[in-house]
Every structure is written in structure tokens, then in C-alpha cells.
Structure 1
Amino acid sequence: MTNRFLQAKHWQIFLLTFGIPMIFQFVMMGSMMSNFTTQTNPDPTTMFNYMKFFPLMMVIFMAVFFGWFWSVAIGLQEKVPEGVTMKVRKFKIFFFIPLMYILLFMTFFSVSMNGLLTSNTVPNIGIIGGLFAIIFPLHLFSMFCIFYCLYFVAKTFKTVELQREVKFSDFAGEFFMIWFYPIGIWIVQPKINKMIEE
């Protein structure tokens, strides 16, 4: 699977991460809007029915996004020059933390949406506040882990490209290109394809 990501063309990865979810979202929003405009007395809860598909879209996006991260960070390790040590174990730990958080959050989101739709009870403010107190720090830590993954992927990419130990100033451009993934993938992925061919 790693080699598939490394050998994939930039447009293929872009289509999987942004193209298909965007089209899916446009279809979903168009369907929602047509329901609201065609009905004389639209039911606002029908919008929540469409929200059930949101976790599915997020899972598809995150699978490709994180799959690409893993492929670059781990798949290019064999091309890292001797004498350069990369903290692969630390990357693996920080890689799986946001994945677990996102899966748990999406599961919680799906269950909550189903619960809101099936029961007519008013949500408890205390429970919502408690959940927010748990989710907020987890969310911040998950964001930190994702930024570390961006850092590690950019560092691995530049280390393989330059075949030497690199500092952040060497790969700052790649870090921001990977951060702004929809634009950066068009520049970074062709270089990765070239590395794999060599």
C-alpha cells in the first residue's frame, strides 16, 4: 500500500482527498436545498439526516490523507542516507494518536446525531459541558500531533532529496506545502515519484 501512495500521481491523490469528498458534499447540499425549496413546510430535522454521512466523508478523507503521510514518512526511510537518524518511533506514536481521536470523535458524533434524531428529549447541558472539557484538550493535543507528522514528513522528504542531515530552514517550504495540502501535493508528489523511480 505504501508503494501505491508513493507511485501515485498528484492528481490521483488530489482526487481521492478533495475531489470525491467535494462532489459528494455538493450532491448532498444540493439534495438538502432542493428538499427545502420544494416543500411548503420543510422539516429542519431532515438536515440532521444528511449529517449522518459526514463521518463517512471524514473517514475517507483522513484514510487517504494519513495514508499518504505514512507512505512518505515510512516508505522513504530506506532512502535516508546512512548516519542520519530519524525519530521514526516518535512519529508512529504521534501518527496514531490523532487517528484514534478522529475515529472516536466520529463515532461519538454519529451516535449523538442518531440519539438526537430518535429521542425528543432536550440535551443535558452538564453532559455537554463535561464532554467539551474532555474533547477540547484532546483536540488541541491531536492538532499538535498532526503538526509533528507534517514536520516529520517534510523532514524525511527533504533528507532523502538532499541526502544529508537537514534543519528546519532547509525544509520549511515543504512543511508549508504539505500543510496546505491541496496546493502542495501538486509540487511535492511529482518529486516523490522521481525519487521512487531512481
Structure 2
Amino acid sequence: MEPNTNAGWILGLKHWQFFALLVAPRALEYFFFSFGNPNGDYYWVELCYWIYTLSLICGWLYFTTINLQPLLPSAITMNIKKFKWEMGFTFFPPFFLLTITLLREINGNGGSGFFELLAFIGLILLYPIICLFKSMYRMIRTLKEVELQRPVSKSDFDLSDLSILYPLIGAWVFQPRINQVYEYASRQKLNVEE
């Protein structure tokens, strides 16, 4: 399976660029809206931020794992269909629910039944959260297997691998490792072609 060349922009990011993509919308929100509406009813901005963050993290996990898969040793197999289903369940239910909530806020229905809607969303999001953790694990495992060029066991994982649970820190830990793997793979590809 060939890597997805359309994802080159997200795979070539440096760690500080990925961190800036995660933090910039929140920083801009505080900068521009701190002196705006005195009521401070900007639920729609918060919902847009969560839709953006969900899209960015799911895209990063998906494209990184899919593009690491061809670099795995031939003895290691990965069920790509299962991974794609997990990523689909990670992304689409929360995306649609956040979009519906955003539309309710824009139409002025945000205050009516908001707690019931929040409890409903929480119950529906339980399975996507589990799928998100499984997708994070698959990305970490695939990255480790590409780095070590052998199947990994539980003893191969260390504390830094848990930093992916908090993406602001995970960006600083994983993105340099991903860049290093891709640089090495592209050098190997150039050597083979010559």
C-alpha cells in the first residue's frame, strides 16, 4: 500500500507547527472575544473550536497511521479496515453531534433542554472515545514497530508514549519521531531508486 501523498502537509509538520495548530484557535478566541460581547455568550465559538480540534487530531492520527503502515516490516500485518472503521466511529458521531449543537446555538435554542442534550451527547460519545483511545494505541504501536522494525510487546512502551493522551504534549513528543521516521524512509527510497 502506497502512502497517501495528499497528506504530506500534515506529515511534514514540525512539532511546534502542530502545537500552534492546536493552540492558535483558543488563543485567538481569547484575544478577539475578550473585549467583545459583555454577555459573553459565545457557545458557538467553543463548539467550532471543538469541531476543529476533533478534525485536526483525528486527521493527524489517521494520516500518520495510514502512512506509517507501508513502512512496517513484512512480518507485521495491520488490519487497515478495522482501523478505518474505528477512526470513522471516532470522528463522525461527535462531528455530527457537535454540528447539531452548533446549529441549535445559532438558532437560539441552546438554553432549552441543554442539560438533557449534554447527557445524551455524553452517552453517545462513550463508544467514539473508546475508539479514539484504540486509534491512539494503534498509532503508537505502528510508530514503535516502524522504529524498531520488529513486533512490539508491552515492555517496549514507555511513559512518553502515554503523552498522546494529552495532544498538546503529544505534539512535542510524537511529531519529531514521526518526522525522523519519514526522513529516514525517504532517504532509503532515494537510495533504492539510485
1:27-71 superposed Cα distances (whole Å, 9 cap, x missing partner): 244125xx43xxxxxxx4xx33x2222232222222221121112
Could you tell me how far 1:172 is from its partner in structure 2? 4.6
CA RMSD of aligned residues (A): 2.3
User: Does the 8 Å CA contact 2:54/2:95 hold for their aligned counterparts?
Assistant: no
Change beyond 3 A, Cα 1:4–1:168: farther
1:73-129 superposed Cα distances (whole Å, 9 cap, x missing partner): 1011110000111122111111011211121111221122134369xxx8359xx64
Q: Computing the radius of gyration over CA atoms, which structure comes out larger, 1 or 2? A: 1
Name the counterpart of 1:87: 79
Q: Which amino acid aligns with 1:70?
A: Y
Matched, 1:30 2:16: no
Name the counterpart of 2:20: 15
Taking the aligned partners of 2:7 and 2:113, their CA distance within structure 1 comes to: 45
Taking the aligned partners of 2:79 and 2:161, their CA distance within structure 1 comes to: 17
SS of residue matched to 2:56? helix
User: Does the 8 Å CA contact 2:58/2:90 hold for their aligned counterparts?
Assistant: no
User: Does the 8 Å CA contact 2:26/2:49 hold for their aligned counterparts?
Assistant: no
TM-score by length of 1: 0.79
How do 1:3-82 and structure 2 match up within 5 A?
3-18=8-23, 20-32=24-36, 35-36=37-38, 44=39, 47-48=40-41, 50-82=42-74
Taking the aligned partners of 2:118 and 2:163, their CA distance within structure 1 comes to: 32
Taking the aligned partners of 1:173 and 1:72, their CA distance within structure 2 comes to: 21
Taking the aligned partners of 1:52 and 1:24, their CA distance within structure 2 comes to: 14
Name the counterpart of 1:149: 135
User: Does the 8 Å CA contact 1:79/1:160 hold for their aligned counterparts?
Assistant: yes
Taking the aligned partners of 1:168 and 1:29, their CA distance within structure 2 comes to: 46
Taking the aligned partners of 2:119 and 2:16, their CA distance within structure 1 comes to: 40
Taking the aligned partners of 1:55 and 1:22, their CA distance within structure 2 comes to: 11
Taking the aligned partners of 1:182 and 1:11, their CA distance within structure 2 comes to: 10
Taking the aligned partners of 1:173 and 1:95, their CA distance within structure 2 comes to: 24
Taking the aligned partners of 2:7 and 2:164, their CA distance within structure 1 comes to: 18
Taking the aligned partners of 2:134 and 2:18, their CA distance within structure 1 comes to: 21
SS of residue matched to 1:76? helix
How many corresponding residue pairs?
Answer: 179
Q: Which amino acid aligns with 1:114?
A: I
Change beyond 3 A, Cα 1:72–1:173: farther
SS of residue matched to 2:146? helix
TM-score by length of 2: 0.81
User: Does the 8 Å CA contact 1:94/1:145 hold for their aligned counterparts?
Assistant: yes
Unmatched segments (≥5 aa) in structure 1 = 37-43
SS of residue matched to 1:31? coil
